[in-house]
Amino acid sequence: MTQPVLSVRDLRVEFVTRRGVLKAIDGISFDIAKGEVLGVVGESGAGKSVTGSAVIGLIDPPGRIAGGEVLLSGLRIDNLPPEEMRRVRGKRIGMIFQDPLTSLNPLYRVSEQLVETIRTHTNLSSAAARKRAIDLLAEVGIPAPDKRIDSYPHEFSGGMRQRVVIALALCAEPELIIADEPTTALDVSVQAQIIALLKRLGREHGTAIMLVTHDMGVIAETADRVAVMYAGRIAEIGPVREVVQNPLHPYAKGLMGAIPSLESDTDRLVQIPGSMPRLSAIPPGCAFNPRCPYVFDRCRVERPEPVQHSDHRVACHLYDQSSVRSEAVA
């Protein structure tokens, strides 16, 4: 079996506060293969962005990785010293943030930022680094890259800035790219272009991509597999087509049922009652139990562990070896 580019095992992230220890990520595991796009979806507060930050080593105090392992092509990176992790970040792992201006310094020309990043992680000369920067801008769809490379970030539109950030993430040909809400601030037509770009880059470069978003439309268009997160845990993970068309976990069912369809005349969309619990008030048992239409006694006292069900892994007591309970969500 081919070794995954990213392997996360039983990852736990905590934040130490005056009110106690808050568990932001509570024992999640997943893999991303070479050239694969894994979508990570869920409501605000589910733990999507914290997962990406933990993988890339950007959890700052009072946060900490409290347990588990993060392996990049077989190398454990969650326990690397800060200086070694800085060398991994940027060279072997690229990051695309929601707001391009988070990644781009407004005081420097795009050429300076791209060339500096390329020279930091490669042995190229200034002239060769500039040529590679121009080639990267062309690859991500910037028109007249040899001229636009000397522009400042504010001289680009939002969509073009995001393309520059993608070029920045690709500078050292990383094995993994973490894209945190890369299309949220863009209009629909530009979103489609960025989605197509990410898919093409993953396919052509063999780059593994972890795509963090709350937009199921983006996931359906871009991802190969999807992980549905809830209250710091993975509720369900599986092939994107299967999860979208046949979700198993009650939370995933609610998310998919809340998406409008152009093919049906449904007057009313599915509504999930309640809201995501605060980290300081996660209920015992299954965290989703106060909002779940299928809840029974076991859900309130025992946390479900992920079990394999067809092509999915789902953390729900309904899918423990009990045909009677499985029929309850059929």
User: What CATH number corresponds to the domain at position 207?
Assistant: 3.40.50.300
Task: Tally the domains of the chain.
Answer: 1
3-state SS string over 225-282? EEEEEECCEEEEEEEHHHHHHCCCCHHHHHHHHCCCCCCCCCCCCCCCCCCCCCHHHC
- What domain range is 190 assigned to? 6-92+172-260+270-327
pLDDT of residue 323: 39
Alpha helical stretches, state H, the chain: 48-56, 82-91, 100-103, 110-121, 126-139, 145-148, 158-170, 188-205, 216-222, 240-245, 250-257, 297-301, 323-327
Per residue in 51-79, pLDDT tens? 999 999 999 889 999 999 999 999 999 99
pLDDT of residue 55: 95
- Residue 209's H or E segment, with its range, is strand 208-212
In a domain, 110, yes or no: no
In a domain, 39, yes or no: yes
In a domain, 17, yes or no: yes
pLDDT of residue 11: 97
In a domain, 15, yes or no: yes
How far apart (Å, rounded) are the C-alpha atoms in residues 148 and 144?
6
How far apart (Å, rounded) are the C-alpha atoms in residues 301 and 196?
44
In a domain, 227, yes or no: yes
In a domain, 103, yes or no: no
In a domain, 304, yes or no: yes
pLDDT of residue 187: 78
In this prediction, the residues of the chain whose per-residue pLDDT falls under 70 are: 1, 185, 261-267, 321-330
In a domain, 297, yes or no: yes
